[in-house]
Amino acid sequence: MDTNYRGYLMKVSDYVVSGKFFQEYKSTPNRQSDLNPWTDSTGLTHRNVLPHTRSTITFTTPPLYLEDKIELQRHFPKRTLVVIEYWNDETNDYASGNFYIPDVEFSVLMSYENTVLYRPITFELIEY
């Protein structure tokens, strides 16, 4: 079967995010949003679905050493605007969008003389 999949889930600029950074990868593509939905006296909801949809991507890394964490962070220098090409499971094709990354929590598993080992780190990307 021929598909549009080109061997990666996410690309930031020209950088393909390596699968080594994905312990878990989840996406919710094409989320709909409404403008002023309302419910009438019979309980029927009236929706005004907007044409623009938003995707969300959440991925959790495996435990990472400091060097790998820095490598990954280098590709997300501004968490307020990240242009991403991603595999859209709803359309079974790649899509691009402008995303932001809310605060990321870092938890240290072990501290060594020359490096740090982090517990799995979860990144959430939310499309504008």
At 7-61, the pLDDT tens digits run: 999 999 889 999 999 999 999 999 888 899 999 999 999 999 988 889 999 999 9
Between CA 122 and CA 25 the distance in angstroms is 10
CA neighbor of 83 nearest in space, from 39, 34, 53, 127: 127
Phi, psi of 70 (to 5 degrees): -65, -40
Residue-wise pLDDT tens digits, 114-123? 999 999 999 9
Amino acid letter for position 107: S
Residue 100 in tokens: 């932001």
H-run or E-run covering 116: strand 116-118
- Sort residue 63 into left (φ over 0), alpha (ψ -120 to 50) or beta: beta
Predicted pLDDT at 13? 86
Between CA 89 and CA 55 the distance in angstroms is 10
CA neighbor of 87 nearest in space, from 23, 18, 29: 29
19 Cβ contact partners less than 8 Å away, ≥ 6 residues apart: 8, 9
Predicted pLDDT at 115? 98
What pTM value is reported for the model?
0.86
55, with CB counted inside 10 A (0-12, 13-18, 19+), is buried
